[in-house]
Amino acid sequence: MDIKPETPWDGTPDISARIIVAISRVSSVLRAGMWEFATAENLNPTQAEILMLLKDRVHGVRLSWLAAQLSVSSASASDSVAALVNKGLIRKARAEDDGRASALWLTDQGKTLVERMTTALGFADDAAAALDLDVQGQLLVGLFKLIAELQKTERFPALRACLSCRYFEANVFPDSPAPHHCALVKAPLPISFLRIDCAEHEPADAVTARRNWEIFA
């Protein structure tokens, strides 16, 4: 005899599973948009992603950092970097903080291409901007919290986010709409203004960063 479910919703996956499916779908749409742009520019998807990762990196980045962000080996990232150097889109020079190491920057041509890519992917930004401001804030906090959990698994590459920045001071003004503080600009920092990729970011020590990710909201 068949066992009937007690409610019509018994087969519904958990909320956690549906969150991950939703994020995965959004990510697929963004990736498809990037691939479409990359193909039209004669780039492969990894090359396009490298260009986006170099955006606003005024101090340059190391190859090892790029590889970690892409979750690929340094050898594999190196091939893509070499192709981009040959195309004149990125340049390699001595790292600012270590004369024996090299770092990578976008060239002017690379910056122009990245601007066009950002515009081509603007449909996703438009969709997020169309949400009610409260919903945007809740979504941002929820995503930060999800990232904090993922970081415990050490599967999430380092971010230039406020919560891992040495200038971030958590809960300096508790119970206020702007509870945190940025010691660089010397201003209160509302949760809705927390940055996920700040050009002025300086890494905090590991213990402080972990504590910030746990208590920020």
Q: How far is the CB of 21 from ligand SF4 (least distance, A)?
A: 31
In the complex, least distance from residue 81 CB atom to ligand SF4, rounded to whole angstroms = 26
Instruction: Identify the residue among 104, 201, 213, 216 touching ligand SF4 (CB under 6 A).
Output: 201
Nearest residue (CB) to ligand SF4, 103 versus 201: 201
**Dist. CA 53–CA 149, nearest whole Å:** 23
Query: Is 173 among the residues that bind ligand SF4 (CB under 6 A)?
Result: no
- Specify the residue, 45 or 190, whose C-beta has the smaller distance to ligand SF4: 190
User: Which residue in the set 184, 188, 191, 211 belongs to the binding site for ligand SF4 (CB under 6 A)?
Assistant: 184
Using CB under 6 A as the binding rule, whether residue 159 contacts ligand SF4 is answered as no
3-state secondary structure of 128: helix
Dmax over CA atoms of the chain, in Å, equals 75
Q: What are phi and psi of 65, to 5 degrees?
A: -65, -45
Q: Using CA atoms, how far apart are residues 93 and 97, in angstroms rounded to an integer?
A: 12
* Residue selected from 37, 65, 144, 168 as contacting ligand SF4 according to rule CB under 6 A: 168
Shortest Cβ distance from residue 158 to ligand SF4 (Å)? Answer: 12
Nearer to ligand SF4, 87 or 195 (CB): 195
Q: Does 68 bind ligand SF4 (CB under 6 A)?
A: no
Among 167, 188, 191, 208, binds ligand SF4 (CB under 6 A): 167
Stretch that binds ligand SF4, among 93-101, 115-123, 129-137, 159-167 (CB under 6 A): 159-167
- Rule CB under 6 A: say whether 178 interacts with ligand SF4: no
Q: In whole angstroms, give the CA distance from residue 15 to residue 119.
A: 33
CA–CA distance, 66 with 90 (Å, rounded to integer):
13
Q: Where are the beta strands (DSSP E) in the chain?
A: 90-95, 98-106, 168-169, 180-182, 187-189
d(CA 106, CA 182): 28
CA distance 102 to 81: 12
Does residue 57 come out as left (phi exceeding 0), alpha (psi in the -120 to 50 range) or beta? beta
DSSP class of residue 177? S
For residue 38, state whether it binds ligand SF4 (rule: CB under 6 A): no
The one among 37, 182, 209, 216 contacting ligand SF4 by CB under 6 A:
182
Residue 112 Cβ vs ligand SF4, minimum distance, rounded to whole Å: 26
